Structure 1
Amino acid sequence: MADLGMVGSSKRSRVVAHIFLILGVLIVAFPIYYVVIASTHTLQTILRPPLPLLPGAEGPANYGEAISGGIGRIGGVSVGRLLANTAIVAVGIAVGKIIISMASAYAMVFFRFPFRMACFWLIFITLMLPVEVRIMPTYKVMVQLHLIDTYAGLILPLIASATATLLFRQFFMTIPNELLEAARVDGAGPWRFFKDILLPLSTTNIAALFVILFIYGWTQYLWPLLVTNSNSMNTIVIALRKMISFADADTPWNLVMVTAVLAILPPVLVVVLMQRWFVKGLVETEK
């Protein structure tokens, strides 16, 4: 009887846990569902509450207008161009951060040179500096180099990452010295050791960091706002803000909702497609 009571209690606990889990998912997912539904209705329907909770018939027209046509409030730029800008920036930042972080961590772990630890601590200290402290000097440098309204100006100032350098350094320090000695005996130089041994071992770490850094680059707001003057160089986050007016009647809410949906999709796809690698990279501490 005691066993039956424990089984019943365990089942009730699981049911209660699942109820709270479902409620949490609904609370988180409902605003996204609301945005998706709103993107399929006309502007007049959105401005006349309550908004229907079922999809409307204007979805194809709204998405077609936003992707291929121009949106007046952002200078006639299409959402397709905004998505391309944001993708270039996000991938550039993620790839740049990974390359620079791996190279700097490799140098600090496997090479001996003067002030090696001082260089590491200088990199580490940048974690304590808020972005606002260095954003104006960085902007001045971009102006002097004529990189305003360019992809290089959007990407280059954001590709250094102390966090990624620290993570790669900690991983490289777990590599056995015997592996390094074996590579030397086989005649492998520094580049071959990095390419043929360290890079394959770092695959899961790279995948996990890519997901995090891609989302970081995709959601950037402050720096793209400062370094772009042309609407055609805006990222999708900046464009969303420009599309919204203080007066509801002046805001194309149907196109805003379409843009919001399209802004959500790429990060979600990256997380879904790389979920296995992402989780594996986070939980694996030893190779």
Structure 2
Amino acid sequence: MVENDRWGTLFAHIILILGVAVVVFPVYVALVASTHEGGTFLRGVMPLLPGSHGWENYSTVIIEGRSNAGAPPIGGMLWNSFVMAMAIAIGKIAISLLSAFAIVYFRFPFRIFFFWVIFVTLMLPVEVRIVPTFEVVAQLNMLNTYAGLSIPLIASATATFLFRQFFMTVPEEMLEAARVDGAGPMKFFKDILMPLSITNIAAMFVIMFIYGWNQYLWPLLITTDDSYYTIVMGIQRMVTGGDSEPLWHLVMATVVLAALPPILVILFMQRLFVKGLTETEK
């Protein structure tokens, strides 16, 4: 029996290692490609060992960019993507927390109807409402602004639904105890619900940050000034822009740098995920 368990564990580890290898190998190839000179890729053979031009390639994309492809230095584009992703993540969580709190704990007419109206918007992707949204943003003079990049994408039916479901699991005794202690609605929200929702907030923050970071279509529509380009737009311009062939060593360097912020966010928030899984008492 012990021997069977040992072989089963070994087989499971082999499967896990193969799965990780399949996922990590393309990232490794991109990292290796970013350390070679441009002529390496014209030979038709992809090296599997790092080259000696990594510092040169990364400094080029960060400081100089690729002007002939219409892609400015990526330092500014990384900052634009970071501001947009943070604004979307924080805005979505704040609005969703308050809307879910109102739907669960306040008794007002048609509250269930309003919840289902919010929920139905899940069936309307950004592409369906992008033309009227663009018209509104243009009328408000928010083209080529951080507000225009982030505010139209802040509302989130998904986060509202998830927070509502969590708030419905909080025992009614907590609300009654807060009332006995003289706590008002916002104090109950701030001192009881918010601490209980930390792991949910962390999960939604990671999801919404990556959602905002990977946005391409909306920034492409409302930005004509290259000082507001996002990193995803920059990668696309480096690949398709210009009259020459893509400089793949610079493209791969940009891709590696663009992947770092989401990875760092996931690693930073991982402790909250583990805490939420291991704690049995809230």
Q: TM-score, normalised by structure 1?
A: 0.92
Residue 62 (structure 2) aligns with: 67
CA distance, structure 2, for counterparts of residue 18 and residue 201 of structure 1: 35
Equivalent runs, 1:115-194 vs 2, <5 Å:
115-194=110-189
Query: What per-residue deviation string (whole Å, max 9, x for no partner) do you get for residues 247-268 of structure 1?
Result: 9953121211110001111111
Aligned-partner Cα distance in 2 for 1:192–1:273: 29
The structure-2 alpha-carbon separation of the partners of 1:284 and 1:162, relative to structure 1 and needing over 3 Å to count, comes to: farther
Contact 2:144 2:224 in 1 (8 A): yes
Per-residue deviation at 1:66?
1.1
Quote how far apart the aligned CAs of 1:20 are: 2.1
User: What code does the residue aligned with 2:205 have?
Assistant: F
- Structure 1 position 117, deviation (Å): 0.9
- 1:7 corresponds, among 2, 9, 17, to 2
User: Matches of 1:62 and 1:83 in 2, distance apart?
Assistant: 17
SS in 2 for 1:244: helix
Shift of 1:286: 8.0
Amino acid at match of 2:107: R
Asked whether the equivalents of residues 211 and 278 of structure 1 are also in contact (C-alpha less than 8 Å), the reply is no
Alignment of 1:1-287 (within 5 A): 6-75=1-70, 77-245=72-240, 249-281=244-276, 287=282
Whole-angstrom distance in 2 between the partners of 1:44 and 1:63? 16
1:35/1:261 contact within 8 Å kept: yes
Secondary structure of 1:257's aligned partner: helix
Structure 1 pair 225/286, CA: closer, same or farther in 2 (3 Å)? farther
Number of residue equivalences: 282
* CA distance in 1 between partners of 2:52 and 2:44 (Å): 17
CA displacement at 1:10 relative to structure 2:
2.5
Q: Distance in 1 between matches of 2:123 and 2:151?
A: 20
- Residues 208 and 282 in structure 1, CA contact (< 8 A), matched pair in contact too: no
Any unmatched runs of 5+ in structure 1? 1-5
Taking a change above 3 Å as real, the CA distance of residues 72 and 145 of structure 1, as seen in their structure-2 partners, is: same
Q: Which amino acid aligns with 1:161?
A: S
Distance 1:147 1:74 in 2: 26
* Aligned-pair CA distance for 1:273: 1.6
Report the 3-state secondary structure (helix = DSSP H, G, I; strand = E; otherwise coil) of the residue aligned with 1:149.
coil
Match of 1:250, SS? coil
The CA RMSD over aligned residues, in Å, is 2.0
| Percent identity (aligned) | 60
Q: In the TM superposition, what whole-angstrom CA distance separates every residue of 1:101-152 from its partner, at most 9, and x where no partner exists?
A: 0010111111111111111110011112232221111111111111111111
Deviations along 1:223-246, one digit per CA (max 9) or x if unpaired, are: 111111122211111111111138
1:238 maps to amino acid? M
Compared CA separation, residues 165 and 280, structure 1 to 2 (3 A) = farther
Q: Does the Cα contact within 8 Å between 1:73 and 1:242 map onto a contact in 2?
A: no
C-alpha distance in structure 2 between counterparts of 1:268 and 1:197, whole Å: 31
Q: Aligned in 2, Cα 1:250/1:13: closer, same or farther, shift over 3 Å?
A: same
Per-residue CA deviation, residues 143-163 of structure 1 (Å, 9 max, x unaligned), is: 111111111111001110001
Change in Cα spacing, 1:262 to 1:194, as seen in structure 2 (3 Å) is same
CA distance in 2, matches of 1:156, 1:209: 17
Distance 1:140 1:281 in 2: 42
Contact 1:219 1:237 in 2 (8 A): yes
Q: Partners of 1:172 and 1:32 in 2: how far apart?
A: 39
Give, in angstroms, the shift of residue 92 of structure 1: 0.5
Deviation string for 1:40-60 (max 9, x for gaps)? 111111222312211111111
When normalised by structure 2's length, the TM-score is 0.93
1:269 Cα deviation from its structure 2 partner: 1.1
